[in-house]
Amino acid sequence: MTALNRILGALVDWLQRPLGGAPPIVGLVLWSIPVSVFALWVFGKTSNQTRIAAVKNQIAAALFEIRLFNDDLRAIVRAQWEILGRVIHYQGLALVPMVFILPPLVLLMVQLHQYYGFRGLAPGESALLRVELAEPGGERPDLRIEVPEGLHLETPAVWVPALGELDWRIAADAAGDYQVGFVLGGETATKTVRVTDRVVRLSPERPPRELLAQLEWPSEPPLPADGAIRRITVGYPQGSVGLLGWAWEWSFAWMVVFFVLTMVIAVALKKPMGVEL
Amino acid sequence: MFGSTKVKLDANLVERIRKLAEIAGYSSPEEFITHALEKELALLEDAEGEEEIKKRLQGLGYMS
Amino acid sequence: MTTPSDTASSRPARLVLAAAILLAGAPTIADAYIGPGAGFAVLGSFAVVFVTMLLAGVAVLAWPFRMVWRALRRRRRARPLVRRVVFIGFDGQDAAITERLMAEGKLPNLSRLAERGSYRRLRTTFPSITPVAWSSFSTGANPGRHNIFDFLDRDPRTYLPRLSSAHIGPVTRFLKLGKLRIPLARPDIRLLRRSKPWWTILGEHNVWSTVIRVPITFPPDRFHGAQLGAMCIPDLLGTQGTFMLFTTRPESTTFEEGGVRVALEHNGSASSFTATVKGPENAFREGNPPMELPLELELDRAAGAARVAIDGSVVDLRLGELSGWVELDFPAIAGMKVGGLTRMMLTEAGEHVSLYLSPINISPGKPAMPISHPSYYSSYLEKRIGPFATLGLAEDTWALNEKVTDDATFWTQTQDIDAERERMLHVGLDRLRSGALVTVFDATDRVNHMYWRYIEDGHPAAAGVDRPEYGDAIERQYIHNDGIVGRVLERLDEQDVLFVLSDHGCTSFRRGVNLNAWLLANGYLALRDGADPARPWLQSVDWSRTRAYAVGLVGIFLNLKGREAEGIVEPGDEAAALKSELAARLGGLVDDETGTIAINEAFDTDTLYRGPYKGNAPDLLIGYNHGYRISWGCASGVVAGRVFEDNVKAWSGDHIVDPRLVPGVLFCDRAVSSDDPHITDLAPTVLTLFGIRPPGHMDGRPLIEKERP
């Protein structure tokens, strides 16, 4: 997983580099085009196009029937049941291509989430910095934090024994990429913190050495499996997507926009590409 | 055929039409009135061109 | 402690979880992450369910109001004696052939119907042709009351023929924008059949009817029910069926009618060709130029195969095999296309290459003309059963006549259309809880016409018979019809009534009679000096010296003063005398070459018809004997040639004869009260079955007694 993340990360970084200065919506539009083409192509190749077309025709016919027999309540109910059954069938038919589309798309979208889900800290802004220990419930650990110049701690460490967590508020003084260091016993760990106004890769979490966690947070190498520190997170502000002065701030806003964009593009391309959706 | 417009007629006239329509073999007073008017219109309207007619008859399987 | 970071870091976990769930088979959540394809599927499905609910909700809410409205509008409450009445029409099914096959035990379902209920020969209309007879079926009236006397009528102002059943006028009002014209009105398309069909009357009493392909329903009637139009629906070119032959052969001969030849041009190599398919006129452009689609053909001579690319579709063809329906969308202006359907066949792939395209049918999914009621009914059927033929005379008899296609291709075409029709019937029957359903199948008539030469020794057209396997084509068609009846019978119960009927029979067409040549030879018709009598549409006739002429397929018109533009025959005594004289001379007319009587009787339509439209009928109706019919030349207004001539076309059987010679059939699963039923009796019968008193304008009498059957 670590290797895969490294390769994928490098690839996405390279592709994303020219988009760093552009508003998020531009990057999303540009990403959604190849993604739509890919998804459509796979859908066309892996789904039973004939049966999908047939089921859709029958759904349309049943809709016509509701109009045609609008005096006949029993006919309407019958048509509704038919539509329900056929929609389920249709969903079933759409499931097969999803199995092929989903894995590569999830990997890509996790990568994009690092760029568009959050925004970097601005000078003067602070965020929650949290270290989660492998063994909760013990004594307050003797953890030393090394804050580089350009950042400073606003609060002393808060110890939450039940969770095995140490929390700080860390504030940004100047733009830049920083490594915050942690020393616990003989062990050391670092965590990136980026203070920037560009669309760049952010790493809200340095994950533990577990498959799902690495899949979710691919931007930094995982912490050692047998170490005392399990994970380190930085609470970056949520990303926002906007157009013409209107902005939507939510770390998943980009996903909604991306989803709508890919749908629109797919609808536009399905006929030229000869794919039945 | 599609769409229709209402025309006001003298009630007396309509009553006379109604009485005679069925006797004359019409299915309704409207059909009677339509026929009467179309007969008059045919006297006034221009006939269609030959080419137009021939084209439309083309392929009528019963034709040579 | 909840900060933005909590939500931010926990949500992506769900992202991965969603992937896992998706793989386990719950599409909806995961769809949010995959956008196109499946995402569309889910959103689309929700949209469908939403629209369904909305439509259903609106329908349910409006239902009480609709019921009240209907109750207010309907004249009288119908007290139906039955639940459903089903008519299966087999156009042209001949009584004599049917009876013979029943006697041979080959029509078990029809025989069962005859035993359980009744079988009668069904008297047909004068003349015994499809548009007239089915119009009488629909209206219960004689032609004098429904105004359909022939396929063709003539315009007395010009003597030119015109379609008798529908008027399709051009668009005359436009908004001009440079070279572009925006039509400001719909073209004037009118049904010329008059009177009132029984389904309209049933609808007035709130009884539903589904009317599928009953001839002379273009444009469709508007009534409480659904209707798919039939005979006289044009193709996309606006004609009654024009096939195309794309060929590399030099244009040595032209088709007499019904087809166009288009040059197939080499495109760089010996196996690559291009051509242009000319579609309908583009009303948006000055001069109405045709809309066009380029066609490319790649030939594999060794394999006898070709790949045709047209309008984005690629069709693989094998020599002599008809393709399925191919959609053609002709571009009119940006964003507007006119949809059509055609079937293709590679007819030769040697030194010369030829590609046949069937007449381009109006697409039922997006019809360019009103072919159904409600307008979306044809789209509905297309969604249910797939693409289907919409052209009035959908079977391409002319391509076979011109030997562009062959008996096998025609058989395939006919049977495929029959199968489409049967699927429509069952879709209609599935959804008919109460009311009437009628479906007319055309194949029997077409098969009678085109394969008669196989069953008659010495038929002049038998020389072209080269496929002995079609010797029993007519018999096979009747047996197939019996199967259709069987499959419907299985789905009916004792509350339903089934009628199986045909509008006329069929007999031999060995010799053609050119009535105009006879009128010329006998001094009733005169030619203009120096005019070529071979010109069609009576262009050579000197009207100032002509007393009678033949137009259309069934009769003779007098050149009547005051009616015809250049009439010379005084109405009244002179006209009556001329009519009697012609009737006397034509009745019993003998074909000198064969020594047989060609015309049994010439009928005076003044006594034959009753009703307000009888003045539009031909003055005399010609009742030909078996083996005779109007000649091909005379039908298109050619005066030249002999009075009698052999018919050598594949079209070798016909029924434009003395109607008494070609009765139809009538089967019913109940007893019928008449021994000698007429096709006009069916309309009052179906009204009676639904408890409605037949109106006075109907000529027919109910065939079933009023007490509950």
User: For residue range A179-193, what is the model confidence (pLDDT) as tens digits?
Assistant: 999 998 888 999 999
- C280 and C414 inside one domain: no
Is A66 an 8 Å CB contact of chain C? yes
Q: What pLDDT, on the 0 to 100 scale, is given for residue B53?
A: 64
Range A77-87 average pLDDT? 89
The phi, psi pair for A99, rounded to 5°, reads: -60, -35
**Global pTM?**
0.85
The pLDDT assigned to C387 comes to 97
C302: how many CB neighbours lie within 10 A of its CB? 8
Cα separation of C395 and C358, whole Å? 9
- Are A71 and A137 part of one and the same domain? no
Q: Are residues C536 and C614 in the same domain?
A: yes
- What is the predicted pLDDT for the residue at C437? 98
Would the CB atoms of C38 and A43 count as touching at under 8 Å? yes
Do A47 and A130 lie in a common domain?
A: no
Cα separation of the two ends of chain A: 33
The residue range of the domain holding A161 is 126-237
Q: Which pLDDT score is estimated for C645?
A: 95
The pLDDT score that the predictor gives to residue C677 is 97
Instruction: Residue C612: list chain B partners with CB under 8 A.
Output: 24-26, 32, 35
Same domain, A142 and A112: no
Across the interface, do B53 and C635 touch by the CB < 8 Å criterion? no
Cβ of C313 under 8 Å from any chain A Cβ? no
The domain ranges of chain B are 11-57
pLDDT value of position C200: 96
What's the rounded mean pLDDT across residues A104-129? 91
Cβ neighbours of A101 in C, within 8 Å: 34, 37-38
On the question of pLDDT at C1 being above 70, the answer is: no
**C289-308: average pLDDT:** 94
Rounded to whole angstroms, the Cα distance separating C515 from A26 reads: 79
Q: Based on the domain organization, do A90 and A160 belong to the same domain?
A: no
Q: What is the pLDDT of residue C214?
A: 97
Confirm whether C405 is domain-assigned: yes
- In this predicted structure, the answer to whether residue C213 has a pLDDT above a threshold of 50 is yes
Does the interface ipTM go beyond 0.90?
A: no
Q: What is the mean pLDDT of chain C?
A: 89
Is C24 an interface residue toward A (CB < 8 Å)?
Answer: no
* Sign of the alpha-carbon dihedral angle for C133, C137, C140, C146: negative
Q: Which residues of C touch B60 (CB under 8 A)?
A: 151-152, 163, 240-241, 393
- C131 in Cβ contact with C148 (< 8 Å): yes
- Interval C37-77: pLDDT, tens: 456 566 666 667 777 777 777 777 877 887 787 777 665 66
Q: Mutating which of C129, C130, C148, C157 best tests the B interface, going by the most B Cβ atoms within 10 A?
A: C157
Query: Is the residue at A189 inside a domain?
Result: yes
Q: Work out how many CB contacts closer than 8 A connect A with C.
A: 201
Task: List the single residue in C4, C41, C44 with the smallest CB-CB distance to A235.
Answer: C4
Q: What is the pLDDT of residue C13?
A: 46
Residues A22-35 pLDDT 10s: 888 898 999 989 98
Residue C352 domain-assigned (yes or no):
yes
Q: How far is CA C454 from CA A55, C418, C448, C653, in A?
A: 44, 21, 10, 10
Asked if C6 lies within 8 A of A61 by C-beta distance, the reply is: no
- Asked whether the beta carbons of C500 and C90 are under 8 A apart, the reply is yes
In which band, very low, low, confident or very high, does the pLDDT at A5 lie, cut at 50, 70 and 90? confident
Mean pLDDT on B29-56? 79
Residue C129: C-alpha distances to residues C87, C149, C241 (Å): 19, 9, 19
Q: Are residues A146 and A165 in the same domain?
A: yes
Shared domain for C111 and C201, answered yes or no, is: yes
- Do A112 and A9 share a domain, yes or no? yes
Domain assignment of residue C527, yes or no: yes
Q: Are strands C84-90 and C496-501 parallel, antiparallel or unpaired?
A: parallel
C524, C650: one domain:
yes
The mean-pLDDT minimum among A3-12, C109-118, C213-222 falls in A3-12
Mind telling me how many Å the CA of A139 is from chain C's nearest CA? 21
**pLDDT at C552 exceeding the cut of 80:** yes
**With bands split at pLDDT 50, 70 and 90, how would you rate the model's confidence at C36?**
low
Higher pLDDT pick, C255 / C219: C219
pLDDT digits (tens, 9 = 90+) for C125-145: 999 999 999 999 999 999 999
- What is the average pLDDT across C597-606? 97
DSSP strand pairing (C435-441 vs C209-212): parallel
- Residue C631 sits at the chain B interface (C-beta within 8 Å): yes
Select from C700, C690, C708 the least CA-distant residue to C77: C690
Check pLDDT > 70 for residue C17: no
Q: Is residue C531 included in any domain, yes or no?
A: yes
Does the CB of C335 have a partner CB in chain A at under 8 Å? no
Average the pLDDT over C404-409 and give the result: 92
Higher pLDDT, C390 or C29: C390
The contacts of residue A34 (CB under 8 Å, 6+ apart) are none
Coil/strand/helix, residue C108: helix
Among C5, C44, C62, the residue with its CB nearest the CB of A235 is C5
Question: Is the pLDDT score of A7 beyond 80?
Answer: yes
* pLDDT band (50, 70, 90) for residue C410: very high
Residues A176 and A107 in one domain: no
CATH number of the domain to which A160 belongs? 2.60.40
The domain in which residue C46 lies consists of: 15-73
User: Hey, is the C-beta of C249 within 8 angstroms of any chain B C-beta?
Assistant: no
Query: Are C654 and C530 members of one domain?
Result: yes
Assigned domain for C603 exists: yes
Residue with tokens 């080959």: C106
C442 within a domain of the structure (yes/no):
yes
Is residue C547 scored above 60 in pLDDT? Answer: yes
Q: Is residue A275 part of a domain?
A: no
List the 251-290 stretch of C: residues with Cβ below 8 A of B: 256-259
Does residue C6 have a pLDDT over 50?
no
Q: Please determine, for residue C207, whether its predicted confidence score (pLDDT) is greater than 50.
A: yes
Are C430 and C348 in a shared domain? no
Using a CB-CB cut-off of 8 Å, the residues of chain C touching A83 are: 48-49, 52
* pLDDT confidence bin for C583, thresholds 50/70/90: very high
In this structure, of C306-315, C474-483, C504-513, the range with the lowest mean pLDDT score is C306-315
Cβ-defined contact of C537 to B55 (cutoff 8 Å) = no
Q: Do chains C and B touch (3 or more CB pairs under 8 A)?
A: yes
Quote the pLDDT of residue C11.
Answer: 46
Per the CB < 8 Å rule, is A117 touching C8? yes
Q: Are residues C242 and C353 in the same domain?
A: yes
- Mean pLDDT of the region C331-359: 91
Q: Are residues A68 and A88 in the same domain?
A: yes
* Distance in Å, alpha carbon of C276 to nearest chain A alpha carbon: 22
Confidence of residue B55 (pLDDT cuts 50, 70, 90): low
Which of A102, A105, A250 to mutate against chain C (most C CBs within 10 Å)? Answer: A102
Mean pLDDT of chain B: 78
Q: Examine residue A276 and state whether it is found in any structural domain, yes or no.
A: no
Please check whether residues A224 and A252 belong to one and the same domain: no
Which domain-ending residue is among C57, C73, C89? C73
**Does C42 sit within 8 Å of A94, measured CB to CB?**
yes
Question: How many domains are there within chain C?
Answer: 4
Closest residue in C to B1 (Cα) is C190
Asked if pLDDT for residue B62 goes beyond 70, the answer is: no
pLDDT of residue C2: 36
Q: Is residue C424 situated within a structural domain?
A: yes
The reply to whether A96 falls in a domain is yes
Chains near B with 3+ CB pairs less than 8 A apart are: C
Task: Say if the Cβ atoms of C144 and B48 lie within 8 Å.
Answer: no
A21 and A66 part of one domain: yes
Checking if the pLDDT of C19 tops 50, the result is no
Confidence of residue A208 (pLDDT cuts 50, 70, 90): very high
Q: How many domains does chain A have?
A: 2
Interface test with chain C among B23, B34, B64, by most C beta carbons within 10 Å? B64
- Token pair 């273009």 is found at C218
Indicate whether C20 pLDDT > 50. Answer: no
The yes-or-no verdict on residue C3 having pLDDT over 60 is: no
- C405 and C426 housed in the same domain: yes
C 409-438 residues inside an 8 A Cβ radius of A: 431, 433
Q: Are residues C587 and C537 in the same domain?
A: yes
C190 min Cα distance to partner chain B (Å):
6
What is the per-residue burial (b if ≥16 Cβ within 10 Å, else e) of C185-221? eeeebebbbbbbbbbbbbbbbbbbbbbbbbbbbbbbb
- A-chain residues within 8 Å CB-CB of C383? 57-58, 60-61, 64
Do C530 and C493 fall within a single domain? Answer: no
Q: Are residues C197 and C257 in the same domain?
A: no
- Is there a contact between B59 and C238 if contact means CB atoms under 8 Å apart? no
Which range, of B12-21, B55-64, C533-542, C545-554, averages the lowest pLDDT? B55-64
Chain B interface includes C187 (CB < 8 A): no
C348-398: pLDDT as tens digits: 998 899 999 999 999 999 998 899 999 999 999 999 999 999 999 999 998
Do the domain assignments include residue C354? Answer: yes
Which residues of chain A does C5 touch, with a Cβ-Cβ cutoff of 8 Å?
Answer: 127-128, 130, 204, 233-236
Spatial CA neighbour of C296 closest among C320, C318, C269: C269
Q: Provide the percentage of residues in chain C whose pLDDT is more than 90.
A: 69
Q: How far apart are CA A180 and CA A186, in angstroms?
A: 17
Q: Would you say residue C8 has pLDDT above 60?
A: no
| Whether residues C527 and C607 fall in one domain | yes
